[in-house]
Structure 1
Amino acid sequence: MEFREVVRRRRMVRRYADRPVDPAAVDRMLEHAQRAPNAGFTQGWAFLVLDNPEDVALFWATTGADPDAHNAWLDGMRTAPVVIVPLTSKAAYLDRYALPDKGWTDRDEARWPVPYWWVDAGMAALLVLQTAVDEGLGACFFGIEARHLDGFREAFGIPEDHAPVGAITVGHRETDTGAPGSPARRERRGDVVHRGRW
């Protein structure tokens, strides 16, 4: 698929068909994610892949999805056979930039005008989303509520120096995708590009 078509077709898919995802496609998503730009070639990210029903069910249980609660969003999202959780390590970036080739001698966070550990993990997540489209799959990025992070961490053994930036469901798009998303209710803004000055 042409890159411009991948970009044009990318949507947040919230309901999936009852079909397994080829593990090789998931591997390609992760391979591409690891090619994302990252400050200082720190590679301070990690990816938790949940691709068996027990692990996916545990993900939903530990992130606050009441198994008896029903709503259109949750019912659709829980049909995804794969969940990928991109994580980032601030410590990895602080350590990397304290090395001699970067010229800093300490790990002071104040040196960072932007927390690039979040930015870089977000770019990696976007490559997962775009690769899903290229593979003929659907995907959706969403956040994990702060109040559920401790339970999620404990359930999956997430190290203290890594933080999830969100989660990505992956699967084959359902023919009936349910209610249209925000683009059906809001027009795409045309006033976001400023040339020369604001």
Structure 2
Amino acid sequence: MIVEYGDVVRKRRMVRNYDPDRPVPAEVVRRLLGYAVHAPSAGFSQGWGFLVLEEPDDRQAFWAATTPAGMAESGWSQGMRRAPLIVVPHSNRDVYLERYAEPDKGWTDRRESRWPVPYWHVDAGFASLLMLLGAVDEGLGACFFGIPPESIPGYRKAFDVPDAYTPIGAITIGYGAADRRSPSLRRGRREMAQVTHRGRWGVGYENRHA
């Protein structure tokens, strides 16, 4: 199912419950990863890495390593565990520091303080969003969520993740099942006029002056 880009954006939401009997076809998985590697990256550094977990044993190991005590029986956890696919996007700071020490960039001291924000995380986030949008385009549901900091050592050990790679979160992907609305949605979506500014902060983008 191919839909227009505007429809993909408007339909995108975090899906937290999946049909466990419908695996994501291999060709769809490849397309989603293909979207991810087309994300922009500073200096075309492409310092990301994606761990793809499709086998039941691998998914179980992921949940065992990352689920906080007392959370395994929660409704959120039960629905998320039904996802047939988990993709864990990682960033690699060192790739960026090395890239910007090359002649066309010239930051030979490799100091992290030169960076206004950690673009390695930003770029891995860009790649994650492309997968989320791609999932909608493929008729799938997906959810990006964080891995608790205290769970990361166990996650690294379970999957032999090199120290240079930092998981920025994880993405469950699959065919959506009946899902309750997240309590967070009660906050409502902020209006564009509340978050956009024209010319200077505090002047609404949609304001018109005579």
Equivalent residues of 1:44, 1:88 under 8 A apart = yes
Letter in 2 for 1:197: R
Query: C-alpha distance in 2, partners of 1:137/1:8?
Result: 14
The counterpart of 2:110, out of the listed 93, 107, 113, is 107
For 1:106 and 1:68, the matched residues in 2 are separated by: 44
Q: Distance in 1 between matches of 2:128 and 2:183?
A: 20
Structure-to-structure mapping, 1:172-183, within 5 angstroms: 172-174=175-177, 176-183=178-185
Summarize deviations over 1:18-48 as a string: whole Å, max 9, x none: 2111111111111010000100000000000
Cα drift, residue 103 of structure 1: 2.1
List runs of 5+ in structure 1 lacking aligned partners. Answer: none
Question: CA shift at 1:67, angstroms?
Answer: 9.0
Instruction: Give, as a single letter, the amino acid of the residue that structure 1 aligns with 2:190.
Output: R
Which has more radius of gyration? Answer: 2
Amino acid at match of 2:143: C
1:10 corresponds in structure 2 to 12
Matched residues, number: 196
Cα distance in structure 2, aligned partners of 1:24 and 1:54 = 21
Alignment of 1:128-167 (within 5 A): 128-167=131-170
Q: Deviations over 1:149-176 (max 9, x none)?
A: 00000110100100000000000010x2
Q: Decide whether the 8 Å contact of 1:142 with 1:168 is kept in 2.
A: yes
Task: Name the structure 2 match of 1:187.
Answer: 188
Give the RMSD, CA atoms, in angstroms: 1.4
Task: State the Cα deviation string for residues 55-113 of structure 1 (Å, max 9, x = none).
Answer: 00000001125699411101110010100000000000000001111122220111101
Q: Which residue of 2 aligns with 1:96?
A: 99
TM-score (norm 2): 0.90
Match of 1:49 among 41, 52, 57: 52
Question: Per-residue displacement from partner, 1:95-146 (whole Å, max 9, x unpaired)?
Answer: 0001111122220111101110010000000001000000000000000000
User: Which runs of 5 or more residues in structure 2 are unaligned?
Assistant: 202-210
Paired letter, 2:154: G
Is residue 2:43 matched to residue 1:36?
no
- Cα distance in 1, alignment partners of residues 97 and 40 from structure 2: 17
